């Protein structure tokens, strides 16, 4: 389920900004981006995300900005001095004169490094970062809950349409067999009219019985109706029902396909096509449900 939450805070001259975004995914996946100063928080952040979210791809970003006079990085002065001396010697030996730009030297890899906090400082950063992260997650969950209400209404609408079409299919079962019997009897009578022969009612009844057995969809209709009831109960049940709803919708589609393969009536086929369209929509929507 998609969602977005953000929160900010400041303490001890350091401002914190957290952004959390989620997008659809059948499973739970985290993408955590932390500044080098706070890489020690990755495990804590991952646990916090898993505690609040159970499904979807979660993108987490933490930004730190020092607003005090202190800095959040160290300069490797020894390495900087070594590089400057080597450049000076190289210039003397080659006869190339020039000035050394300190700005260019600072851009070299390894010269500027993040200032690793001490134990007390790390504890302060952890405490405030987790508090702000929870605030952002609360906003994200509120947004997801609002979207969930719309999803529930849309899924319930699809289920209602399926129930109505399924009732129409159930009502046509006996009519289809009777129409087949009448059509078969009429066709046979037409073929035998010129030969002045009379149809054997026993043979006709046996053919109709075979057709009725082959096209019997009562079990599939009953199972599809049962899946609909389970689906509704799951929607009203506990949290983290997304995977269960996904499985039930797959079973619903399986029964609809079986009904379509058995149905020899164009009217029934039309209802089945409509049912499959609604199930496909449900399958898309349940990917958004946690």
CATH number at residue 57: 3.30.230
67, 82: one domain: no
Q: In a 10 Å sphere around its CB, with 0-12 CB exposed, 13-18 middle and 19+ buried, how is residue 247 labelled?
A: middle
Tokens of 5: 């939450």
DSSP SS3 for 29: strand
Look at 10-19, 96-105, 210-219, 259-268 and tell me which has the smallest mean pLDDT: 210-219
CATH code for the domain in which residue 232 is found: 1.20.140
Contacts of 200 (CB under 8 A, 6+ apart): none
Q: In a 10 Å sphere around its CB, with 0-12 CB exposed, 13-18 middle and 19+ buried, how is residue 5 labelled?
A: buried
Domain boundary among 55, 88, 106: 106
Residue 45 pLDDT: 95
Cα–Cα dist 61/67, whole Å: 19
Domain boundary among 85, 106, 127: 106
- The residue that leads in pLDDT, 125 or 60, is 60
Residue 11 in this model has a pLDDT that exceeds 80:
yes
Are the CB atoms for 55 and 82 separated by under 8 Å?
no
- The residue that leads in pLDDT, 126 or 217, is 126
10, 139: one domain: yes
Domain count, the chain: 3
131, 247: one domain: no
Tell me 37's DSSP state: G
97, 29: one domain: no
Residue 69 pLDDT: 47
- The residue that leads in pLDDT, 222 or 186, is 222
Among the listed residues 247, 252, 249, 244, the one whose alpha carbon sits nearest the alpha carbon of residue 220:
252
174, 83: one domain: no
- The residue that leads in pLDDT, 212 or 233, is 233
- The residue that leads in pLDDT, 236 or 258, is 258
Residue 201 in this model has a pLDDT that exceeds 80:
no
pLDDT band of 113, cuts 50, 70, 90: low
pTM: predicted TM-score of the whole model, two decimal places: 0.61
275, 198: one domain: yes
Residue with tokens 């899924």: 155
Numbers of helices and strands, H then E, in the chain = 8, 6
Tokens of 75: 């300069």
Question: Which helix (H) or strand (E) element contains residue 17?
Answer: strand 14-23
Tens digit of each residue's pLDDT (9 = 90 or more) over 34-45: 987 788 899 999
Among the listed residues 159, 139, 151, the one whose alpha carbon sits nearest the alpha carbon of residue 5:
139
Q: Which domain holds residue 24?
A: 3-71+112-145
Residue 58 in this model has a pLDDT that exceeds 80:
yes
Cβ count within 10 A of residue 190: 9
78, 129: one domain: no
118, 203: one domain: no
Tens digit of each residue's pLDDT (9 = 90 or more) over 153-171: 888 899 999 999 888 888 7
211, 122: one domain: no
Residue 184 pLDDT: 56
pLDDT band of 46, cuts 50, 70, 90: very high
Rounded to an integer, the average pLDDT of 249-260 is 87
Cα–Cα dist 141/137, whole Å: 6
177, 88: one domain: no
Tell me 72's DSSP state: S
42, 168: one domain: no
Domain boundary among 49, 84, 106: 106
Tokens of 68: 């005090």
- The residue that leads in pLDDT, 209 or 90, is 90
Tens digit of each residue's pLDDT (9 = 90 or more) over 59-108: 999 998 876 545 556 666 777 777 777 777 777 777 677 677 776 766 77
Tell me 38's DSSP state: G
Cα–Cα dist 29/22, whole Å: 10
220, 128: one domain: no
């Amino acid at each position: 389920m998609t969602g977005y939450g953000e929160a900010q805070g400041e303490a001890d001259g350091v401002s914190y900004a957290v952004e959390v975004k989620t997008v659809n995914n059948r499973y739970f996946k985290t993408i955590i981006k932390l500044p080098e100063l706070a890489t020690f928080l990755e495990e804590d952040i991952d646990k916090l995300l898993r505690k609040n979210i159970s499904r979807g791809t979660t993108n987490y970003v933490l930004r730190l900005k020092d607003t005090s006079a202190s800095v959040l990085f160290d300069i490797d002065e020894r390495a900087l001095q070594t590089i400057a001396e080597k450049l000076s010697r190289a210039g003397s030996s080659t006869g190339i004169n020039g000035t050394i730009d300190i700005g260019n030297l600072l851009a070299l890899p390894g010269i500027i490094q993040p200032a690793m906090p001490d134990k007390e400082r790390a504890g302060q950063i952890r405490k405030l970062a987790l508090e702000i992260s929870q605030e952002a997650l609360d906003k994200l969950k509120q947004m997801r809950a609002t979207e969930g209400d719309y999803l529930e209404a849309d899924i319930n609408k699809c289920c209602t349409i399926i129930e109505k079409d399924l009732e129409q299919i159930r009502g046509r079962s006996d009519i289809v067999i009777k129409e087949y019997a009448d059509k078969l009897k009429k066709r046979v009578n037409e073929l035998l009219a010129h030969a002045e022969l009379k149809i054997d009612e026993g043979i006709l009844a046996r053919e109709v019985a075979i057709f009725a057995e082959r096209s019997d969809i009562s079990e599939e209709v009953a199972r599809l109706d049962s899946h609909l009831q389970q689906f509704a109960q799951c929607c009203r049940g506990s949290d983290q029902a997304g995977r269960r709803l996904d499985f039930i919708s797959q079973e619903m589609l399986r029964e609809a396909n079986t009904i379509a393969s058995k149905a020899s009536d164009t009217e029934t086929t039309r209802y089945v096509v409509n049912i499959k369209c609604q199930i496909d929509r449900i399958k898309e929507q349940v990917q958004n449900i946690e």
